[in-house]
Amino acid sequence: MTMIRRPHHRRRPLTVLSLLLIVMAMALGPTPSSAAGTDWWVPTARPAPDSEINVTGEPFKGTNSRGEVRGFVDAHNHLMANEGFGGRLICGKPFSEQGIADALKDCPEHYPDGSLAIFDYITRGGDGKHDPDGWPTFKDWPAYDSMTHQQNYYAWVERAWRGGQRVLVNDLVTNGVICSVYFFKDRSCDEMTSIRLQAKLTYDMQDYIDEMYGGPGKGWFRIVKDSAQAREVIKQGKLAVVLGVETSEPFGCKQVLDVAQCSKADIDRGLDELYELGVRSMFLCHKMDNALCGVRFDEGGLGTAINVGQFLSTGTFWKTEKCTGPQHDNPIGGASAPEAEKDLPDGVKVPSYAADAQCNTRGLTDLGEYAVRGMMKRNMMLEIDHMSVKATGRVLDIFESESYPGVLSSHSWMDLNWTERVYKLGGFVAQIMSGSGHLGGKPTSEEFSAEAKRTNALRDKYGVGYGFGTDMNGIAGWPAPRGADTSNPVKYPFRSVDGGSVLDKQTTGKRTWDLNTDGASHYGLVPDWIEDIRLVGGQDVVDDLFRGAESYLDTWGASEKHKAGVNLAASSSASASSSESNPFTSYAPGRAVDGKPDTRWASDWSDAQWLKLDLGSASQVSRVTLNWERAYGKAYRIEVSTDGTDWRSVWSTTAGDGGLDTARFTGVQARYVRIQGLERGTSWGYSLSEVGVYRD
């Protein structure tokens, strides 16, 4: 092969030098402007016209020095609530292929002056009248105290993401009873049909945003199905969106005259379907008692209206009893709800309730327990907000017996006395954005900050961050304005918590919102509200919130990794000091270890009784679970032995209250485990449905 020598170009070094200088200038000089469309966080094809974002600067990426993700978590939002309740309770859409004018318009019956905005009248007071025009004027909505208009337009969510939010839980929401009694609707009231539609539209919203950025997977709105995927999305600087469910009759599990309208098979099919849709957290009951659990009541006139709705749907009103511990359900009160009460049959009235009986008699049913354990098998997270005290206590007992961390309180609807039990399990707590607004307080930044500080010591103790639940589109009420004349108003523009972005007042169409005078009117004002929290609550509160994403994913990740322990006591040899005699049913010792919750061991009716288990061989033992029947032990101890002769006490209590107890102790070698009764909690004997023994 003949080689040809090319002429030597003496100017080549200069060309190379020039190229190097250009590269250095590009690396060290200012980044291209957003207008050039080259910044990864700016879409190349945003619809026009559209809302402004009013944020400059690149969203933060990566992790901190400890490898933790950063960012805020909204643990309770309803992006698609406009599709629930029959489709006409919440007016407007979070996105529309036809553009913002179609997305942000009022319900047809609200025109021309809001006279038929019945739900707006019920929830807001006054006569319900308002200017129905949304885009482009937004004269009267969205507003912090208007609960019937869209607050989750996608561009407003985008502003929240740009301001530091990194996790959003989209709870698919509806209520068949509210749908059935509301005057306006344009679709079925079937709850699962609505849930399916809302899930589909959330994926459609992801596709809609992706199109602006060049195709699938390129947008900032990312639906995630496991904690590892969520972490990766956040490391990329994007928003991880988790699907949840908040509905009153999941899987069709309503009750009529206290008779369940669903089966275990319905629950399994429903959980499998939801999991396939991408749902990873859910409520088992909401607003009305169902076949799974009793609810924590609503208060005042709204509570009366919901109680009426429950009767019309199920034939039963709420029933109350005296609480047995410091926790209690919300007081129902005697406030009237004339519009709702007139729908009751002749001669039927809402019952009155004793002031000292604030707990729902309905707890977690057998079907509810089956659903809880089904969620655990699927490594899903359970929302305990809206559950009655009785139901919540049982759920926490079950989770403690299995060391399962997947428990969430996302918007201040549990009794706050449960907080430490949730943290101790490894669960996650978020406070409703409006402070204790759900509980009747004045929704302000001061109130949110005060509650955050009240629980700060617990978060320090367990090393966790904090969340907020906006509950937007959720009929909750949102933080009110503090006023422009306050001594420390939000000053625009301001920097995001991470310091990388600058946020000015948010403008959509002809309306510009100012948190100081408008309150938290829509989702785009979440960063403004966080700045307000910093001003009234201090940087420590905001720092806890900024650690929220990491803590939420810790709970989720631990739930995914959980594996049920091996019960060493299953089908073990059992003996007892006595067994109650019954000609029709056996209460033999082995009934406590046969794996059947409807059988039990029962002793004679005296204090000094025991149940002994032979595990077959010595093993490390550190946890014993005892599922008591109504006849329980008030004082008892757990003893272990390697030979059945020499016994060692490893755990004891004098304050047993029945239900499901979990005894934890330092691991010891044992072949024999004995439950030694010391004092009965009732006039009967001791009765155990099931006993479990575990290594950890």
The 10 Å CB-count burial string (b at 16+, else e) for 645-683 is: eebeebbeeeebebbbbbbbeeeeebbbbbbbbbebbee
Beta bridge partners, 574, equal: 613
Contact 562, 543 (CB under 8 A): no
Q: State the pLDDT at residue 9.
A: 39
Question: Residue 579 gets which letter from DSSP?
Answer: -
Give pLDDT tens digits for 226-270.
Answer: 999 999 999 999 999 999 999 999 999 999 999 999 999 999 999
- Strands 359-360 and 320-321, by their bridges, are antiparallel
Element (H, E) at 433: none
Three-state helix/strand/coil letters over 400-422: HHHCCCCEEECCCCCCHHHHHHH
State both tokens at 401.
């017996």
User: What are the CB-based long-range contacts (under 8 Å, 24+) for 652-658?
Assistant: 654/678, 654/679, 656/628, 656/632, 656/681, 657/324, 657/325, 657/632, 657/681, 658/628, 658/630, 658/632
Residues 44 and 473: their CA atoms lie apart, in Å, by 29
Q: State the pLDDT at residue 438.
A: 45
Residues 361 and 213: their CA atoms lie apart, in Å, by 53
pLDDT for 152 beyond 80: yes
In angstroms, what CA-CA distances link 464 with 377, 416, 544, 550? 25, 17, 8, 8
Band (pLDDT 50/70/90 cuts) for residue 443 is low
Give pLDDT tens digits for 81-134.
Answer: 999 999 999 999 999 999 999 999 999 999 999 888 888 777 777 787 899 999
Q: State the pLDDT at residue 107.
A: 94
Write the DSSP assignment of 82-123 as a string of letters.
GGSTTTTSSBS-S--TT-HHHHS---GGGTTTSTT-HHHHHH
- Cα-to-chain-centroid distance, residue 534: 24
Q: Which of 668, 603, 602, 617 is nearest to 639 (CA)?
A: 668
Give pLDDT tens digits for 592-621.
Answer: 999 999 999 999 999 999 999 999 999 999
pLDDT for 16 beyond 50: no
Band (pLDDT 50/70/90 cuts) for residue 436 is low
3 state DSSP class of 516: helix
- 512, with CB counted inside 10 A (0-12, 13-18, 19+), is middle
State both tokens at 556.
């989720």
Terminal Cα distance for the chain, rounded: 76
Please list the residue range(s) of the chain that carry CATH number 2.60.120.260.
566-695
Q: What percent of the chain has pLDDT over 90?
A: 85
Instruction: Let me know the angle formed at the C-alpha of 628 by 636 and 382, rounded to the nearest 5 degrees.
Output: 120
Give pLDDT tens digits for 536-590.
Answer: 999 999 999 999 999 999 999 999 999 999 999 998 999 999 999 999 999 999 9
Q: Which CATH class is domain 72-294+362-561?
A: alpha beta
Q: State the pLDDT at residue 435.
A: 63
pLDDT for 34 beyond 50: no
Q: What integer is the mean pLDDT of 143-172?
A: 96
- Strands 239-247 and 165-174, by their bridges, are parallel
Q: Could you please state the CATH topology (level 3) that the domain comprising 566-695 is classified under.
A: Jelly Rolls (2.60.120)
State both tokens at 487.
């001594």
3 state DSSP class of 383: strand
State both tokens at 353.
């309730």
- Strands 239-247 and 279-283, by their bridges, are parallel
Residues 324 and 337: their CA atoms lie apart, in Å, by 30
Residues 65 and 87: their CA atoms lie apart, in Å, by 46
Question: Residue 192 gets which letter from DSSP?
Answer: H
The interaxial angle of helices 389-402 and 366-377, nearest 10 deg, is 40
State both tokens at 136.
């482009």
Q: For the whole prediction, is pTM greater than 0.85?
A: yes
Q: What mean pLDDT, rounded, does the chain reach?
A: 92
Band (pLDDT 50/70/90 cuts) for residue 477 is confident
Please list the residue range(s) of the chain that carry CATH number 3.20.20.140.
72-294+362-561
- Cα-to-chain-centroid distance, residue 376: 16
Band (pLDDT 50/70/90 cuts) for residue 639 is very high
| Residue 488 backbone dihedrals phi, psi, to 5 degrees | -140, 65
Residues 194 and 190: their CA atoms lie apart, in Å, by 7
